[in-house]
Amino acid sequence: MRRAFTAPTALAALAAAAQLACAGCASPTYDRDGMQSRLQALHPELTSARLDEIQSLEPTVTFPARIAVGQPGGARVWSGQRGWSADELEIIEAFGDELVAAGVASEVVVLPISLLTPTGNGRSETDLEALRLGAARVHADLLLLIDVVTDTDEWSNVLSVLDLTIVGMWLAPGQHRAALTMVEGLLIDNENEYLYSFARGEGSDERVRPRKYADASLVREKSRREALARFGDAFVREASKLARE
């Protein structure tokens, strides 16, 4: 009996073809040096830059303390840089609860963008001043500065030749989208910028999709969430030492 070539059968065939096509696929290529440079550029410049000034700083708080969390990229969100998404706020809330449970925080508050009014011409020290003012307005003892950078990569496999057909554009998984995100954060004293703790985290995502469904924003957002969650795990481990000192 002759078997009909149904849509599920076609999809299964395309999936098998994609596995064969991707057997020798290239891995994503990221500009890690460039990402580190971008992170460094995002970091607000701390006021105390001389060695003797840094060595003279003393902690002013006892734990648990009230912690304010800045928006990514400092106060530059006012000029068009995006703030935390709803999913990212949930991640911050989750590791904030862990900080409370560890005795590090009495409460963790994410600063709303409305409080981050620029006080000058957008320089890094101006961003830090805006963040510290925002933290003071919510009566926070400590300020958690978090910076995020993401790099993406896109390429095609041999099935992309089917993009020339209408069916292929919708069904042939010929497009790769990948993203890597780096997150770094510092916990400082909001009164004198004494550094208490810091942590890093990385996250990545990669997907193979037909051209019509190949959306780089999906891998970008997934990698951001993964990097932020890993940062949160690392930060809780490091910051928990403060409650035991």
Give the pLDDT of residue 65.
96
Q: Which whole number is the average pLDDT over 52-72?
A: 86
Residue 172: the pLDDT is 64
230 vs 158, residue with greater confidence: 230
Nearest to 147 by CA among 129, 132, 128, 134: 128
Q: Where are the beta strands (DSSP E) in the chain?
A: 65-69, 105-110, 142-156, 175-189, 195-209
- Mean pLDDT for the stretch of residues 81-108: 93
Query: For helices 216-244 and 86-101, what crossing angle results, to 10°?
Result: 10
pTM of the model: 0.78
Q: What is the mean pLDDT of residues 36-53?
A: 74
Average pLDDT, the chain: 79
Q: Which of 133 and 245 is assigned the larger pLDDT?
A: 133
Residue 210: cis peptide before it, omega within 30 degrees of 0: no
Q: Which residue has the tokens 């700083």?
A: 57
| Structural domains of the chain sorted by starting position, each given as residue range(s) with its CATH number in brackets | 30-47+62-148+182-200+224-244 (3.40.50)
Give whole-number Cα distances, 28 to 23, 32, 168, 245, in Å: 14, 12, 23, 43
pLDDT reading at 23 higher than 50: no
Residue 52 and residue 230: Cα distance in Å, rounded?
34
Q: Is the pLDDT of residue 19 over 60?
A: no
How many whole angstroms separate alpha carbon 226 and alpha carbon 235?
A: 14
Distance, CA of 10 to chain centre: 38
Report pLDDT for 223.
Answer: 93
Alpha helices (H) in 46-151, listed in sequence order = 51-56, 86-101, 124-137
Q: What angle do CA 122, 130, 56 make, to 5 degrees?
A: 105
Position with higher pLDDT, 42 vs 240? 240
User: What six digits make up the tokens of 159?
Assistant: 């099935």
User: Are the C-beta atoms of residues 103 and 243 closer than 8 Å to each other?
Assistant: yes
The pairing of beta strand 175-189 with beta strand 195-209: antiparallel
| Structure tokens given for 58 | 């003393």
